[in-house]
Homo-oligomer: A and B are copies of this chain.
Amino acid sequence: MAVIGAGYWGPNLVRNFQSSSAFRLRWLCDLDVERARRVLGGYSTIQATANLTEVLADESVQAVAIATPAATHLDVAMAALRAGKHVLVEKPLAASHAEGRQLVTEAEQRGLTLMCDHTYCYTPAVLRIRELVHGGELGDVHFLDSVRINLGLVQRDIDVLWDLAPHDLSILDFVLPPGVRPVSVAAHGADGIGAGRACVAYLTLHLNTGAIAHIHVNWLSPVKVRTTIVGGSKRTLVWDDLNPSQRLSLYDRGVDVAGPDELADDQRRDMLISYRSGDMIAPALGEREALRTMVEEYARAIHSGTPALTDGRAGLRVLSILEAASRSLASGGTMIDLDEEDL
């Protein structure tokens, strides 16, 4: 196989594909071949090249992993699909929903695997959250609140929404139970430092169940926070990704509302609300690298011919929300309905 792109994320892909027994890594391709050589170092038998055509012409290459800038995903991935290669693409799937749809269609028509590297979905924490939510351990999801802030690299081509929110949106897509999906989105942001694009942004999503999801992404925070709360009718879960000794905390604390739903509104105001104050459980989690699990899922999808957990359609759903959020941001925070077909 081949990794395409030797920038920020490429070296992580190279390292993990090298460790996998399911793949044989032959090429690292980057327009800047010196950069590719530096990534491989002075002791590697993998070939560096700047020539994508050469890589795609190599018949021993059956799969590629693409970690180039989002604006190039359509061209690079389409070329790979047309050369009959399975494709893994860095998030976001493409620069727009329309471009992403072309890739999905092409892959489906050719019967090739198209997978989106939504890395966070393969962390032990998120896999467990999905299990807990799908398994009903939390009950109905009432709210999901995600904060992803740090002193981040202000990107040249995309705002903080497109840079960071794909993580949270892909996680949301991954953990919500079947049938639960966002129906509208609003986004607010600010460009405090005059960077020409939003450096701080807030997304609000309304779900078809009446629940709310909210995402705070921020490049300007001197403190790093990566915390997600998933509030459910039975339990509430807190994921603190920066606390390796206790990433997940499952609280049996909450508020119960007693009384029938058929009551009139003013009666409901007086009904009994009781408080539960139970124990907290922090489930033991392994510390497996997410990319290793992601690489295994890519191998599984290719060999079985079934969609990856984070397939192209998952990438499309994320793009659909990102585009709506951008429209909302541009319009000063209008709530934008999401197209049901896309989700």
Residues of A within 8 A of B (CB): 18-19, 24-25, 41-46, 140, 142-143, 145, 147, 149, 151, 153-154, 156-157, 186, 188-197, 199-200, 202, 204, 206, 210-212, 214, 216, 218-224, 229, 231, 233, 236, 238, 245-246, 249, 251-257, 261, 265, 268-270, 273, 275, 277-284, 332-335
Contacts and interface: CB of A to CB of B under 8 A. Distances in A.
Contacts of A279: 281-284
Contacts of A245: 223-224
Nearest to A225: B227
Contacts of A19: 41
Contacts of A273: 154, 193, 195
A194 B268 contact: yes
A269 B192 contact: no
Contact of A44 (B45, B199, B249, B281): B45
Copies of this protein in the assembly total 4
16 contacts: A44-B45, A143-B190, A151-B253, A151-B275, A154-B273, A188-B212, A189-B212, A192-B233, A195-B255, A202-B214, A220-B236, A223-B229, A223-B245, A224-B245, A252-B284, A282-B282
A46 B60 CA distance: 25
B214 A254 contact: no
Contacts of A275: 151, 153
